[in-house]
Amino acid sequence: MTIAAGDDQIGSGLFGVGQDEAADVDAGRFLRMDFRFHAMVVQVTQGLFKPIPISAPPLPGNPATPAKVALGKMLYFEPRLSESHSISCNSCHMIGMGGVDLQETSLGHRWQHGGRNAPTVYNAVFDVAQFWDGRAKDLEQQAGGPLVNPVEMGTTETHVVEQLKGIPGYAGAFAKAYPGESDPITLDNVRKAIAVFEATLITPHAPFDRYLTGNDKALDATQKEGLALFINKGCVACHKGVNIGGGMYAPFGVVERPGADILPPGDKGRFAVTKTVSDEYVFRVPSLRNITLTAPYFHTGKVWDLRQAIAIMGSSQLGAKLTDDEARKIEVFLGALTGDQPIVTLPILPPSVTTTPRPKP
């Protein structure tokens, strides 16, 4: 499928491409074509992408209740889940800051650097799997990872439960979230609660979503040109679906391998999970939702400039040398993927008592 950006005959006005140069086209004919092609383009676009829903999707086997979401929010902001009592989920996935930490790789326990750039928590519920290598199948499984990673929160599964049982206020919160369970403070229930809270961190109503649902004016002319380029250049082969990415895996450097700073030979990506040679340097395709908020880019976080990241993707993944103007227009289109940011009221966390296990910073 090709939508001819830059082809005056059918492209003009569709995405606004070359509108200035189309002044000599018969206006009536142009408008009729515009209408016809607009309908077609929306149909094609709707087939490739889906808008972010306006409410949190249900998680299989983990029904959300207000009590469980409330508990999950407490745990998301709970620094006492880390060995030092100074790092919470929100430390690296900051709500109000794009769901990321703005670092190349995250700072964790004792100022150690994580191995890869922290992906945004926003809309992560729509990704096919979690982490850059997809080693966690869902949010629930992901939530347990950083807790026990020695360079992240640095604790142990046993201690997470000890710690929470040592904070009296959590007994009631878990009991409400998991009614009928005799011993609800378990690692499994911690992960489930965090997952249902994280599923609420979605960003609907991006201009592109409004465009997808029929509002042609939601994108301006340059954004439409960027969208046409995004589709025609082939970005859409991987960056599609509800998250405009996040739905599949792809080798980084399929056409031309980027420099070792961006793709260091030591991190073979999904190969570490599957031990399959064809998965060397394969990573989960990142979502492009809210991408202008989540620099730096790539799993190494080595690229801070979105336009440069687009150019690298063009050469490494598509074998396309994008002009600076093309990269700029795609960048402008990506700006239309920023949705309503989650509005979250900080939870009041239950106090420690004398017997609460203490931090080990």
Q: Give me the active site residues, please.
A: 152
The packing angle between helices 324-334 and 221-232, to 10°, is 110
Is residue 354 within the footprint of a copy of itself (CB under 8 A)?
A: yes
Is residue 33 within the footprint of a copy of itself (CB under 8 A)?
A: no
For residues 286 and 93, the answer to whether their CB atoms sit within 8 Å is: no
Question: How many whole angstroms from its chain centre is CA 134?
Answer: 13
For residue 97, the one-letter residue type is: M
Is residue 360 within the footprint of a copy of itself (CB under 8 A)?
A: no
Task: Kindly report the number of other CB atoms within 10 A of residue 128's CB atom.
Answer: 16
Is residue 348 within the footprint of a copy of itself (CB under 8 A)?
A: yes
Beta carbon nearer to a copy of itself, 10 or 171: 171
Bridge partners for 49 per DSSP: 241
Among 34, 101, 140, 209, binds a copy of itself (CB under 8 A): 101
Among 11, 13, 16, 98, binds a copy of itself (CB under 8 A): 98
Q: CA 2, 322, 134 angle in degrees (round to 5)?
A: 80
Beta carbon nearer to a copy of itself, 226 or 251: 226
SS3 29: helix
Task: Kindly report the number of other CB atoms within 10 A of residue 121's CB atom.
Answer: 25
Binding-site size for a copy of itself (CB under 8 A) equals 40
Which string of x and - marks every residue 209-228 that binds a copy of itself (by CB under 8 A)?
Answer: --------------------
Binding segment for a copy of itself among 2-10, 146-154, 253-261, 336-344 (CB under 8 A)?
A: 336-344
Beta carbon nearer to a copy of itself, 22 or 344: 344
Kindly state the smallest distance separating residue 282's Cβ from a copy of itself, in Å. Answer: 28
For residues 87 and 152, the answer to whether their CB atoms sit within 8 Å is: yes
Phi, psi dihedral angles at 340 (to 5 degrees): -65, 125
DSSP assignments along 59-78, one per residue: -TT----HHHHHHHHHHHT-
Among 94, 151, 221, 254, binds a copy of itself (CB under 8 A): 94
Site for a copy of itself in 289-328 (CB under 8 A): 292-293, 295, 304-307
> Nearest CA to 193 among 181, 184, 206, 183?
184
For residues 307 and 247, the answer to whether their CB atoms sit within 8 Å is: no
Is residue 278 within the footprint of a copy of itself (CB under 8 A)?
A: no
Report the distance separating Cα 194 and Cα 262, nearest Å. 32
Beta carbon nearer to a copy of itself, 134 or 314: 314
Among 46, 65, 103, 274, binds a copy of itself (CB under 8 A): 103
- Which residues of this chain interact with a copy of itself, rule CB under 8 A? 77, 79-80, 84-86, 91, 94-98, 101-103, 107, 110-111, 113, 292-293, 295, 304-307, 341, 343-349, 351-352, 354, 358-359, 361
